Chains A and B, each alone.
Chain A
């Protein structure tokens, strides 16, 4: 589990924003962590799945796609990834 105050957390956020920005085609600076992924950012289920696949490859993890339905905000997604990535 990566801790929120760590440099790894900041790297994680930066990398996830880069991926989300590329797939959802939203400027990285607009990706505030508390915005609702579907209703506010307009990210649909297919985009979310594509983001998942890219995060799996980038962080070398496996994410259970069923968990996507529980994710409401980018902060939720950071938390999920942080729980799956082994700290260095």
Chain B
């Protein structure tokens, strides 16, 4: 008889650990709203569930929304972890192993820190699960399973054989956003990001029919949820994007996506995106200081475009799509004036929203290697790696100054005057669009 399988997404932290920041979040409707939207679930565990043969008695727990019952009577526990979830993932793994369960760890953090994860798991699965999870299950049944499964999916492989994730196993939770992964891989290989290392530099994607089925399934299960496309950089393949959007235009759903500034050079795509329900694009501008962008990657797209940032934002937003800009504080070129310059940029360009985070040396990134060499990593507690806590030594800014920079940007960006000005700006755009 096939064993019971329990897949777990451990409780994760968001925002900063400091009392001042949490007190600010509690007072800020906008930041509470950001937190609300980031509470969406990723497609990772529903995808693993879909890769599991139907004979298994399988369930998924999102620990952010439901406590784990450690007296669960199945045999096999699979736990996924991003870095900020790792400490909790290990606690859960240790407890289930103490109770005699077989524990498998997978996901981004165990992929980049396999030795560490192996201290808490019977098996660690590295990389994408599409081949290794079914192989592990077959070998587990035969009693020949390995301690470690190396990545078997290469960046040359397409995603067309990935089954529709079993979102129905999570439909008891009321998510405001459900994240769908349409593609993997990013060519930019930014120093602070491990995505290019984990997924490769070539953008691979699912087929249009696959994505249509996924969207329909999510909308069937969560009629009021927004759909977020979780790709680190969607729309890299402009020809495929056009075909996908033309298909989306025949459907009826509102969605968000993450992409890069190059989308602004394609007016036709922007119009099509708005028509087919795209409401917000998350774009990583990273910094308004040119010197900071030089170090980022082999691809100079951000550095050479910094003088066009305003034009790019205006172009996208005039199409009725809000730009949610992402900026990092704590880059080497930053000083005590950076917070003010970033805030001015956000306000002057009427950004619909912004995510300001502190430079965080995530394991697996080139940034971590460099800052380790330079002996600049101050905090190694994974639960602090939310990207909102100061965990590095900066040449000019103290940890306190970096944290205060975040608070000062957020508090002024969302104060009454700026919120009102932003509302007027977007109302005028929408009025022009309906004329």
Name 23 interchain pairs, CB-CB below 8 A, sorted by A: A25-B252, A25-B277, A26-B224, A30-B223, A40-B224, A42-B224, A42-B225, A42-B226, A42-B254, A44-B226, A44-B280, A45-B322, A45-B426, A46-B279, A49-B426, A50-B320, A53-B427, A56-B434, A65-B426, A66-B420, A66-B424, A69-B419, A69-B423
Is the CB of A10 closer than 8 A to any CB of chain B? no
| Contact across chains for B423 and A65 when beta carbons are under 8 A apart | yes
**Beyond A44-B279, A65-B423, is A25–B224 a contact (Cβ under 8 Å)?**
no
Q: Give A17-67 interface residues, CB cut-off 8 Å to B.
A: 24-27, 30, 38-42, 44-47, 49-50, 52-54, 56-57, 65-66
Additional pairs, 7, CB under 8 Å, beyond known A45-B322, A46-B280, A65-B426? A25-B252, A38-B33, A46-B279, A47-B279, A57-B434, A65-B424, A66-B424
Contact-residue size bin, chain B (C-beta under 8 Å from the other chain): 20 to 34
- Chain B 345-366: CB-based contact to A (< 8 A → 1; otherwise 0): 0000000100000000000000
Bound CA span A39–B279, Å: 17
Contact of A24 among B36, B254, B419 (CB under 8 A): B254
Decide if A25 touches B253 in the complex (CB within 8 Å): yes
Which residues on the A side are within 8 Å of B426 (C-beta)?
Answer: 45-46, 49, 65
CB-based contact A52/B427 at 8 Å: yes
Q: How far is the CB of A12 from chain B (nearest CB, A)?
A: 18
Residues of chain A lying within 8 A (CB to CB) of residue B224: 26, 30, 40-42
- State whether B423 touches A68 (Cβ < 8 A): yes
CA of A49 to CA of B434 in the docked complex: distance in angstroms?
11
Interface centre among B225, B252, B254 (most CB of A within 10 A): B254
Interface contact A45-B423, CB-CB below 8 Å: yes
Say whether A53 contacts B223, CB under 8 Å: no
Distance between Cα atoms of A51 and B372 in the complex (Å): 51
A44 to B255, CA, bound (A): 11
Q: How far is the CB of A25 from chain B (nearest CB, A)?
A: 5
CA distance A42 to B277 in the complex (A): 13
**Does the CB pair B431–A46 fall under 8 Å?**
no
In this complex, what residue of B is CB-closest to A46? Answer: B322
Q: How far is the CA of A44 from the CA of B320 in the complex (A)?
A: 13
CA distance A37 to B36 in the complex (A): 14
Question: How many cross-chain pairs have Cβ atoms below 8 Å apart between A and B?
Answer: 68
Which residue of the partner chain, among A25, A27, A53, A69, contacts B430 with CB atoms under 8 Å?
A53
Q: Mark B285-320, 1 if CB is under 8 A from A, else 0.
A: 000000000000000000000000000000000001
Interfacial chain A residues near B320, Cβ < 8 Å: 46, 50
Chain A residues at the B interface, C-beta cutoff of 8 Å: 24-27, 30, 38-42, 44-47, 49-50, 52-54, 56-57, 65-66, 68-69
Q: B423 to chain A: which residues have CB within 8 Å? A: 45, 49, 65-66, 68-69
**Set of chain B residues within 8 Å of A66, measured between Cβ atoms:** 420, 423-424
Is B163 in the interface zone, CB < 8 Å from A? Answer: no
Give me the 7 closest cross-chain CB pairs, A-B, nearest first.
A53-B430, A65-B427, A46-B322, A65-B423, A49-B426, A25-B254, A53-B431
Interface residues of chain B, those whose CB is within 8 Å of chain A, are 33, 36, 176, 223-226, 252-254, 277, 279-280, 320, 322, 352, 419-420, 423-424, 426-427, 430-431, 433-435
Residues of B within 8 A of A49 (CB): 423, 426-427, 430
Chain B interface helix/strand/loop/mixed: mixed
Say whether B225 contacts A50, CB under 8 Å: no
Chain B residues near A50: list those with CB within 8 A. Answer: 320, 430, 433-434
How near does chain B come to A11, taking the closest CB pair, in angstroms? 20
List, in ascending order, chain B residues with CB within 8 A of A25's CB: 252-254, 277
**Is B252 in contact with A53, judged by CB distance below 8 angstroms?**
no
Please name all residues of chain B whose beta carbon is closer than 8 Å to the beta carbon of A57 when the two chains form the complex. 431, 434-435
Contacting pair A46 B352 (CB below 8 A): yes
Cα–Cα, bound, A69→B423 (Å): 10
CB distance from A26 to the nearest CB of B (A): 7
Please, which residues of chain B bring their CB within 8 A of the CB of A52?
427, 430
Min CB–CB distance A15 → chain B (angstroms): 14
Q: What CA separation (Å) do A65 and B277 show in the bound complex?
A: 22
Interface centre among B225, B277, B426 (most CB of A within 10 A): B426
Chain B residues near A27: list those with CB within 8 A.
223
Instruction: Determine how close the nearest CB of chain B comes to the CB of A87; give it in whole angstroms.
Output: 24
Cα A40 to Cα B33 with chains together (Å):
12
Q: How far is the CB of B315 from chain A (nearest CB, A)?
A: 16
When distances are taken between beta carbons in the complex, the residues of chain B under 8 Å from A26 are: 223-224
Return chain B residues, CB-CB under 8 Å to A47.
254, 279
